Chain A
């Protein structure tokens, strides 16, 4: 009964016009949301906002009243729910390891039901335990009750990975752990996330966790989607007071008024400098050699602007000079306030700026990086 995989990778998950009601109240109301393949999307909001309901509609643990959920264009309603769920990894807060099975049996349960051979199962269990840093020979034959909460959560993650699914659903996986352990597991999880490079939908009520882990964050309130976007967008352009309140801009980033650009900029390096009269094709070679994606174009001492690798690749005539295609770039003084600089960047839709001190480039300001340093 080994069933074929539904999808090897996720291109997109799309919610269209999703509504779910319980009695007279809406759990989710008219939700449109697209989750991109390979990203980690956070669903966050006060309790009762519909975030968990939204998550559970992806693997049909909850069925919507109207609207469609499609994965790679495939309507989940057209798929047998058991088959769908075996293609989706699932991790929840209370973990739910089966107390009557050993750790090995817990992890190997679905592979066993899928008719894998004993040897293959054992192999998989060992690989996964190693992956979550639990030595298999030590843990395989133990029962869940003999493990600490953190260890159990790792086993929970290993179990979710058993069938190597391209999509993971995580429902407050670190919610029940104490703060220090949570930080540690988040750190490990980030590493794992990069390694497995899968699409992840993650529910949490902890905004810090959301800001650290999320590629994009979807904020829900009273059954509706309020705003979705990358962390910095929510912080600097909250759609309304609720979003501002959730990302807690007022309190957490209050000290930003006192921070100066020079405190957060990265030092300027010469490898980012290209001369204005360089031809496009030479610039591509040069940037590839220097392993950079962005470069700043100078004419002597004078900053002309910025070019990116993508710009250069798109450029039709390879004999053009950089001076003709460089886009203007924002510059700041080291003593400018970070809040000012970031909102300027945000308004112009840029994420890079050069820090100039009396005509000399001294640093680079990157909005993502700034944010990470603040958190």
Chain B
């Protein structure tokens, strides 16, 4: 049974405060990069429709590579440390974000883009003032999926000396410390659930604000 005492013990012995900070740092860096790259790709393939299928297919292939394999493949290029883990996160997260951005932009009701054009908005203004705001709920949905992916991949990073809570799990497995495995596992889970519901809240707000009536 887990007592508060054992939790506190594991927490201090495995430097879990620092590990949590490392974990969240990797996670947020990866997520921010994914959002920037994913949304850009989404907008790009929307504007150059012919590239949409090849790009999305390619990203689908990336998505099918097992995460552990992807991290190992990235090791020779990015060396030990947080690099391969963050890169793997980003590679996984681009697809849901780019795909949702693309779908969102495509899904904006034509009457709005028509009116925007007709009252004298340039294509760029139409994109910035009408299409992107109206796609925000769907883009947020994509980000939320990416967030869950990232949480998993960052934890795996413990295997390749990336730091973070994965290290605690890894140590627990190596030293056969059930308590450490349990505490780190639960804590990672709680963080993931918390972040996901936070993202869910934002998504809902955006839906209310920007969703079509």
Contacts and interface: CB of A to CB of B under 8 A. Distances in A.
A315 interface: no
Contacts of B117: 61, 85
Contacts of A110: 119-121
A82 B121 contact: yes
Contact of B115 (A84, A96, A143): A96
Interface in A89-125: 90, 92, 94-96, 98-100, 109-110, 113
B25 to A, nearest CB: 33
A159 B213 contact: no
A9 interface: no
A82 B122 contact: yes
A98 B116 CA distance: 9
A86 B114 contact: no
A59 B118 contact: yes
Nearest to A86: B120
Contacts of A160: 119
B213 A145 contact: yes
A61 B133 CA distance: 23
A100 B111 contact: no
A113 B111 CA distance: 20
Contacts of A99: 112, 134, 210-213
A173 interface: no
Interface residues on A, range: 20 to 34
Contacts of A87: 120
A84 B133 CA distance: 26
Interface string A76-87: 000000111111
A276 interface: no
A167 B204 CA distance: 42
A159 B119 contact: yes
Contacts of A144: 213
Contacts of A100: 133-134, 209-210
A84 B122 CA distance: 11
Nearest to A59: B118
A99 B115 CA distance: 12
B130 interface: yes
Contacts of B9: none
Contacts of A145: 213
B34 to A, nearest CB: 24
A160 B212 CA distance: 22
Contacts of B125: 113
A128 B147 CA distance: 45
A61 B121 CA distance: 12
B120 A85 contact: yes
Residue in A61, A95, A99 with the greatest tally of chain B CB atoms within 10 Å = A99
Nearest 3 A/B pairs, CB to CB: A96-B115, A145-B213, A86-B120
